Structure formats: structure tokens, C-alpha cells
A = this chain, B = another copy of it.
């Protein structure tokens, strides 16, 4: 009847890392969406690149219909631009939009953080402690071997910040933050600041910043936690902004 339909809908809605469910028998549309999305964010499909169906068909071995559906979805998200009667292209990078994106991301993060600190229970606190522990460890490892950030560090960092706001009480707030973060990530990855990741970030001690944020959160000092988080993000942002000037198209 209509009831088990909804029950199974919940199962499907049980999503993976980025709101993308990973079923065994994934539909072609889902598959195309997931892969192309990852390729755009990672920079494998560079900004401004035209996404011709024939071309994608041979690359991903997926038919034209699921490809179009995936691209339409991505255009709703803003990662792809749908040009009337002229197909699709990867959304170009734009320095102004990057500022815009970061403003929105940081503001929403602060709101979520404030709410999380106000609403979080003991179980959430323990999650914070656990994430902080792992983050500390990875930060120390990062500092020791000057090889720059690793994938495990990236994962710990993502988990750290996600945990801080996890108790904000609004899935939509979290979803919007995730979306904005993905959009920002594309700018970060597309920038030539990969070199920065290798060389490290100058005199900056990210570990101390993380520890300070964690302390403020556990002390339930929302104002301080927001302030620290904002400047934490701003530091990397300023660096990126400088580097991005070269890879974004100049304004007309």
C-alpha cells in the first residue's frame, strides 16, 4: 500500500557522506550525478568546460538520458550552467561569487554553532571530545611531518567542524552548510594553492586554532566559539582569494 512505500523511501533517504545515497543497484542517473559532481568539485572537470553529451557518453559509458538528468540536477545546485539550446557547461569561477559563497557559509556556520552550543546534550559533548581528540592527533602529525595535509587530516578536519554544529537541531541548516561548503571546495581545489597545501601554511598553527575552538565550544561560550571559527575560516579564505585572482575570469 502507500505505507511501505514511505518506509522504503526513508531507507533510500538514508544518505552517505554528502546526501548521496549509495545503493547497490544505483540508477544510471544517480551514478552520473555522483561521479560528475565529484569530478567538478575536485577540478577534474575544469570551470567553464562545456559538457557535451556525446563526449560524456564515451567517457562515463552512460546513455544520454541519465546524463541529461544528472546535469539538470547539477544545474539546480549551481555547479553546472544549463544554456538554453546550447547544452551544459561547468559553472565558471568568479571571485565575487566566492566572497558571496563564503559569507553565506560562515554566517550559517555561526548560526548553527550557536544553536548547537545552546542545544547540545552530553552525548553531543562526548562526540565533540572524540572529534577533538582525533583532530589534535592529526594536527600533531601534520606539524611533525612537513608533508602538508593528507586525506586523513582532511577527513578529521571535516568531521571536527561537522561535529561542532551537529546539535543545531535543523537538518536543513546543516544541508545548506554542506552545499555551500561543496561549492567553496571547488574554488579551493581549482586554485593553484595546492602548493600552499604542500608547503604548509606559514607560521600558522592550525592545531592551536582547533583546540581553542573546541575549548570555547565545551565551555559553551557561543560568542567566542563563533569568533574563533570565523577567523579560522577567514585565514584560509584570504590566502585563497589572493591565489584565485589568477584562475578566475576577469570581470568585463
Interface of A toward B, CB cutoff 8 Å: 2, 5-9, 12-13, 23, 25, 27, 29-30, 48, 65, 68-70, 72-73, 75-77, 81, 83-86, 89, 92, 97, 100-101, 103-104, 107-108, 110-111, 115, 169-173, 176, 180, 249, 252
What secondary structure prevails in chain A residues at the interface with B?
A: helix
State the number of copies, please. Answer: 2
B27 touches A101 (CB 8 A): no
B100 touches A27 (CB 8 A): no
Which residue of the partner chain, among B29, B48, B107, contacts A2 with CB atoms under 8 Å?
A: B48
Residues on B with C-beta less than 8 A from A73 are 72-73, 75-76
Which residue of the partner chain, among B2, B25, B180, contacts A172 with CB atoms under 8 Å?
A: B180
B84 touches A25 (CB 8 A): yes
Q: A107-B111, A176-B176 are in contact. Are A84 and B12 (CB under 8 A)?
A: yes
A76 to B78, CA, bound (A): 11
Residues on B with C-beta less than 8 A from A171 are 97, 100
